[in-house]
Amino acid sequence: MVNLQKGQSVRLEKSGGGSLSKTTMGIGWDVRQPKGLGRFFGGGGGDIDLDASCLLFDANRQMIDSVWFRQLSSSDGSIVHTGDNRTGAGDGDDEQIDVDLTALPGSVASLVFTVNSFQGDTFDRIENAYCRLVDTTTGAELARYDLTGSGSHTGQVMAKLTRGSGGWDMKAIGERTTGRTFHDMMPAILAHL
């Protein structure tokens, strides 16, 4: 497993070598609990609904398809969102997007994963946020990127998978953005293609 820093890339391969066929992008987060007197006077707490999205792009930077809480599957079925978590409660991944890399149309050159707060909560209220890529067939975690740093942003362009001649590469992006859905974040997304 590789812990990525912003801007780092890793070649996606099975732990024993060979091409990766099925992967899961998982994201997780916790709600930052207020400290001091804020605990008693309604400062923070409550649920936060972050939404993971996967956007499919061709080599010309044109979006072919999107998978998000309003469309849980790509039109060809190669990418499936497992469902919208509206609280961030519990351990482990709060949302997952399953990707069958072998079933993706040949026209797909890049997959971009984003996360945003549909309700407009800022990352100041979030802690322990991460995205991780898992080999679905073995359960092995291939790469993890911590979405660290609180701030007034409401979204992040998390990571990009790019198809190469020998398989797929993952790049940790971690660009802070604003917007309730990936549509609002499109200028930042396109800048990384």
User: Model confidence over 142-169: pLDDT tens digits?
Assistant: 888 887 667 888 998 988 999 987 788 8
Of 181, 42, 35, 70, nearest to 118 (Cα)? Answer: 181
What sign for the dihedral angle of Cα 189, 53, 69, 72?
Answer: positive
* 144 and 1 Cβ atoms separated by less than 8 Å: yes
Q: Which helix (H) or strand (E) holds 57?
A: strand 50-57
Query: All domains of the chain, ordered by start, with CATH?
Result: 2-190 (2.60.60.30)
Of 130, 30, 49, nearest to 90 (Cα)? Answer: 30
pLDDT value for 150: 73
Three-state SS string over 141-168 comes to EEEEEECCCCCCCCEEEEEEEEEECCEE
Q: pLDDT tens across 20-63, in order?
A: 889 999 988 888 776 654 444 444 456 777 889 999 999 999 99
pTM for the model stands at: 0.86
State the residue for tokens 């923070």. 44
pLDDT value for 36: 52
